[in-house]
Amino acid sequence: ELRDWLRDVYAPGVTGAPETVGRERYARWARYWNGADLDLDEAYHYGWEEYHRLLAEMRTEAEKILPGAKTPWEALRHLDTHGEAVEGVEEVRVWLQGLMDQA
């Protein structure tokens, strides 16, 4: 439905409008916010590498939680029903303090 709406309603409505997105505009805003000219291809490549690295790390942790889990989200659903819960303000504070002490 979204595809059809974009094609049939949105696209005709913006035909001829000035370019508000794209590589050149992104490069200008990246320079504005970073104070430097970024290599956009390198940044894009880095972003995808980092995404895949984090996903692999999440899968490793999911396997520890639920052996055989195919995705991290499967492990999260498992924790929603079978995981331990910390409830109450003081209990959460104590739990977080314990994590910080371990770190």
More confident residue, 19 or 85: 85
Distance CA 22, CA 11 (A): 16
Is the pLDDT assigned to residue 21 strictly greater than 90?
no
| Amino acid 98: pLDDT | 96
| Amino acid 42: pLDDT | 97
Are 62 and 69 in contact by the 8 Å Cβ rule? The answer is yes
| Amino acid 78: pLDDT | 96
Is the pLDDT assigned to residue 16 strictly greater than 90?
no
23-76 pLDDT, tens per residue?
A: 988 999 999 999 999 999 999 999 999 999 999 999 999 999 999 999 999 999
Are 69 and 78 in contact by the 8 Å Cβ rule? The answer is yes
Are 83 and 97 in contact by the 8 Å Cβ rule? The answer is no
| Amino acid 2: pLDDT | 96
Beta carbons within 8 Å of 75's beta carbon, 6+ residues apart? 61, 62, 63, 65, 66, 69
Q: Residue 62, Cβ neighbours under 10 Å: how many?
A: 21
Q: What's the chain's Rg over C-alpha atoms?
A: 22
Question: 17 phi and psi, to 5 degrees?
Answer: -70, 150
71-96 pLDDT, tens per residue?
A: 999 999 999 999 888 999 999 999 99
Determine if the pTM surpasses 0.85.
Answer: no
